[in-house]
C-alpha cells in the first residue's frame, strides 16, 4: 500500500489487516504499552478545510507513535493557486515522510499522490472519506465482533462518507443500504464500483428512498449532516428535503434492539439526529470519534513503519 486514497483501492485482506492492526495498536495504547513505531517520522498535514477530529487525531497519532505532525493551514498551502499541486507534492516530499491532505476536490489528493515520492493519505475529499470509513468499520467490528452479513443503513445525503461506507461495507461482506431523497443519491460510479467489490465477498449495495423501510432490521443506523462544508448555500433547501431521514425514536424502533447508532460528526442536533438518540444507549458516536485516532495509527504504521 503506497498511498491511502480510497477504500476501493484495497483488497478484502488488506482492509481486514488494517482493522486488526488498529485493534492491536489500540489495545497496546490502553495498556500503556504503546511503541514508538514511527520514531522521528514527520507527517505533513495539508488542510483546505478546517477540522477538529482530523487535525487532533492525526496529531496525536503521530505523537503516540513517536513521530511528529506538521500542520499546514489553508493560507500556507493553496493547492493549484499559489503554486501547482505537483510542485507542492515535490517540495513536501523533500521535507516530510508522508502527506495527509484534507481537500475539497478529490483530484487534488490524486494529484498529490501522483507527484509525491512519499505516501499520501486522503484526510477527506468530495469523493471519499476513507479514514472515516475505516474508523466506522473498526467501531462496528469492535462492538459486534464481525462485519460480514451485518445490515448497515445510511440515511441522508449520498456524499463522500456514504461512498466510503459503501466501499468498506462491500469489501467486508456487509449489506449496505443507502436511503436518500430523490436527487441526493450516491454517484452512479460509486454505486457501480461498490457493487463490483461486493460480488467477491457476498455483500450487497441497495439504494432506497424510504427511510423507515431501509431502517427495518438494521444492525447499524448511520447519518451525517444534511449540508456539508462547502454546501452552505444549499443548507436552507436541504432542511426542507431531509427531515423524513432524521434518526429519531420512531425510526430507531424499526431497527434491531441492539442497533448501533453512528454519526461521523460534527452533528447538527435536532436536524439529522435527535438528542435522545445521539445520547441514548444505542449510540456509539463518541467511541467512533475516538477510533479516528486508532484507525489512522494503523494507516500510518502500514505506510511508514513495521510492527
User: What is the pLDDT at residue 223?
Assistant: 98
Out of 3, 48, 111, 129, the active site residue is 129
**Selection from 274, 145, 295, 184 nearest residue 221 by Cα:** 274
The reply to whether 284 and 213 lie within a common domain is: yes
Q: Which of 108, 111, 126, 264 is catalytic?
A: 264
Cα four-point dihedral sign 74, 158, 234, 134: negative
Residue 34 lies in a domain: yes
C-alpha cell at 209: 428512498
Q: What is the CATH number of the domain that holds 188?
A: 3.40.50.1370
Catalytic residue chosen out of the listed positions 111, 224, 288, 294? 224
Range of the domain at 217: 132-288
Q: What pLDDT is attached to residue 138?
A: 98
Residue 275 among the catalytic residues: no
Residues 283 and 300 placed together within one structural domain of the fold: no
The structure's pTM equals: 0.97
Q: Determine the pLDDT at residue 74.
A: 85
Check residue 306 and give its pLDDT: 59
Instruction: Tell me the C-alpha distance between 89 and 118, whole Å.
Output: 9
Note the pLDDT of residue 25. 98
Let me know whether 154 and 115 are in one domain.
no
Is residue 2 one of the residues assigned to a domain? no
Co-location of 143 and 283 in the same domain: yes
Residues 140 and 110 placed together within one structural domain of the fold: no
Judge if 249 and 180 occupy the same domain. yes
Distances in whole angstroms, Cα of residue 283 to Cα of each of 54, 251, 252, 262: 21, 14, 11, 6
Give yes or no: 264 in active site: yes
- Say yes or no: 192 and 278 in one domain: yes
The answer to whether residue 68 is catalytic is no
Known catalytic membership, residue 219: no
pLDDT confidence of residue 144: 97
pLDDT average per 10 residues of sequence, the chain (307 residues): 97 98 98 96 94 96 98 84 91 98 96 98 97 98 98 98 98 98 97 98 98 98 90 89 98 98 97 98 98 98 83
Are both 204 and 177 inside the same structural domain? yes
Of 173, 211, 166, 208, the closest CA to residue 189 belongs to 166
Q: Residue 118, CB half-sphere, CA atoms under 13 Å: how many?
A: 23
User: Is 132 in the active site?
Assistant: yes
Q: Pick the catalytic residue: 193, 263, 292, 294?
A: 292
Half-sphere exposure of 210 (CA within 13 A, CB side): 5
Question: Same domain for 165 and 207?
Answer: yes
Among 3, 48, 102, 246, the active-site one is 102
The grid coordinates listed for 104 are 475539497
Q: Which residue has the cell 451525517?
A: 224
Count how many domains the chain has. Answer: 2
Q: Is 129 a catalytic residue?
A: yes
132, 246, 288, 296: the catalytic one is 132
Amino acid at each position: 500500500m503506497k498511498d491511502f486514497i480510497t477504500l476501493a483501492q484495497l483488497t478484502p485482506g488488506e482492509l481486514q489487516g488494517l482493522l486488526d492492526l488498529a485493534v492491536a495498536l489500540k489495545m497496546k495504547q490502553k495498556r500503556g504499552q504503546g511503541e514508538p513505531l514511527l520514531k522521528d517520522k514527520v507527517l505533513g498535514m495539508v488542510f483546505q478545510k478546517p477540522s477538529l477530529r482530523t487535525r487532533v487525531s492525526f496529531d496525536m497519532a503521530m505523537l503516540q507513535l513517536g513521530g511528529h505532525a506538521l500542520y499546514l493551514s489553508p493560507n500556507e498551502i493553496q493547492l493549484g493557486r499559489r503554486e501547482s499541486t505537483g510542485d507542492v507534492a515535490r517540495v513536501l516530499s523533500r521535507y516530510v515522510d508522508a502527506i495527509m491532505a484534507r481537500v475539497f476536490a478529490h483530484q487534488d489528493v490524486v494529484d498529490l499522490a501522483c507527484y509525491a515520492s512519499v505516501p499520501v493519505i486522503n484526510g477527506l475529499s468530495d469523493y471519499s472519506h476513507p479514514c472515516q470509513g475505516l474508523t466506522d468499520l473498526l467501531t462496528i467490528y469492535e462492538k459486534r465482533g464481525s462485519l460480514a452479513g451485518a445490515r448497515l443503513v445510511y440515511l441522508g445525503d449520498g456524499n463522500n462518507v456514504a461512498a466510503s461506507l459503501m466501499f468498506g461495507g462491500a469489501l467486508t461482506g456487509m449489506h449496505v443500504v443507502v436511503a436518500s431523497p430523490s436527487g441526493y443519491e450516491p454517484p452512479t460510479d460509486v454505486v457501480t464500483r461498490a457493487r463490483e467489490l461486493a460480488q467477491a465477498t457476498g455483500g450487497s449495495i441497495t439504494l432506497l428512498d424510504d427511510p423507515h423501510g431501509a431502517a427495518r432490521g438494521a444492525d447499524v443506523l448511520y447519518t451525517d449532516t444534511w449540508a456539508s462544508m462547502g454546501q452552505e448555500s444549499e443548507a436552507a433547501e436541504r432542511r426542507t428535503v431531509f427531515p423524513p431521514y432524521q434518526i429519531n425514536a420512531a425510526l430507531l424502533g424499526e431497527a434491531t434492539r441492539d442497533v448501533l447508532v453512528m454519526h461521523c460528526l460534527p452533528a447538527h442536533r435536532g436536524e439529522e439526529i435527535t438528542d435522545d438518540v445521539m445520547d441514548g444507549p444505542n449510540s456509539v458516536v463518541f467511541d467512533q470519534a475516538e477510533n479516528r485516532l486508532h484507525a489512522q495509527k494503523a494507516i500510518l504504521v502500514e505506510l511508514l513503519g513495521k510492527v
